[in-house]
Structure 1
Amino acid sequence: MKTLALILSLVLTTTLSHSQDNIETYSITVKVDNALSDNGSMLIGLHNEDTFMKGKGLQNSKSEIVDGIVTVTFENVAPGNYAIMVLHDENDNSKMDFDATGRPSESYGMSNNPMLFGPPTFTDAKFELLKENLEIHIRF
């Protein structure tokens, strides 16, 4: 009886672990083509609702800007709802800087390119990754 229970648990464990390997993943390519300068770098983060506006994303990239253009690809992304946040970190201090009134002093953008008059929300920037690779264009 113990042998049968052991064999059954091994079969179930193996089956469940292989079923997770079969989840298809996709890529999300982010393009920014209107950086105001090539100074500093572009910080780009892939976020879900839990990480949006709370620090580092699920995947993050720091990229050099060449002729005002940056292209970054996030690989192995499972289907779901996501948002992209982009910061032109002109002084390369790895954070967003603010002026004396509290407004951002560095350019930023996000997926869906919403025009906002306050802090962004996940709903403003979210998109759904289904069963194909995506290309997202972000403008400042």
Structure 2
Amino acid sequence: MKTLVRAAASLLAAVCFTAAAQAQTKANKLTITVGNLTERKGTIRVGLVTKADNFMGKADIDTAVAVPAEGPLVITFANLPSGTYAVRLHQDLNDNKQMDIEGGRPTEPFGFSKITMLMGPPSFEDASFQLDKDTDMKIALISL
């Protein structure tokens, strides 16, 4: 009987450990909608960043999506591990694969997660959010 109880306890512990490990590594889906496209040309370049040091540098995940002829642009990232993320994007109007800047100001529309109006350069902390479930997010483009 003691052996049976120990075996049952070991099995229960293994099941609980496996469930906890799966919860920590759960894959999440992030869906971003960009709905205020005033110019129907170019490419939306999106970067997902997980560290403050990379916020204005190399993104952890980069993608580019052609601007649709009409309607909103929807971008989905699947199988993202839970964690802290920030999204930055810009509309590359001339498809030169970079944000064009003139006089220190962007000349192409851009946006960030959680930021709708800028009062100076954004920070990772301002734009970051916790991803621990499937999430839908709207990002408005900003033009200066």
- TM-score normalized with structure 2 length: 0.76
Q: Which runs of 5+ in 2 are unaligned?
A: 1-17
> For 2:126, what is the secondary structure of its paired residue?
helix
Q: How many residues align?
A: 120
Q: What is the root-mean-square deviation of aligned Cα atoms in Å?
A: 2.0
Kindly state the Cα deviation for residue 117 of structure 1 after the two structures are TM-superposed. Answer: 2.4
Aligned equivalent of 2:41: 39
Q: What amino acid maps onto 1:133 in structure 2?
A: D
- Give the Cα separation in 2 of the matches to 1:68 and 1:116: 25
Q: Is 2:121 the partner of 1:102?
A: no
- Conserved? CA contact 2:116–2:140, under 8 Å: no
Aligned equivalent of 2:134: 133
Kindly state the Cα deviation for residue 97 of structure 1 after the two structures are TM-superposed. Answer: 0.4
- TM-score normalized with structure 1 length: 0.78
Kindly state the Cα deviation for residue 46 of structure 1 after the two structures are TM-superposed. Answer: 1.0
Kindly state the Cα deviation for residue 64 of structure 1 after the two structures are TM-superposed. Answer: 1.1
Kindly state the Cα deviation for residue 114 of structure 1 after the two structures are TM-superposed. Answer: 3.6
Q: Which runs of 5+ in 1 are unaligned?
A: 1-17
Percent identity reads 33
- Give the Cα separation in 1 of the matches to 2:116 and 2:139: 10
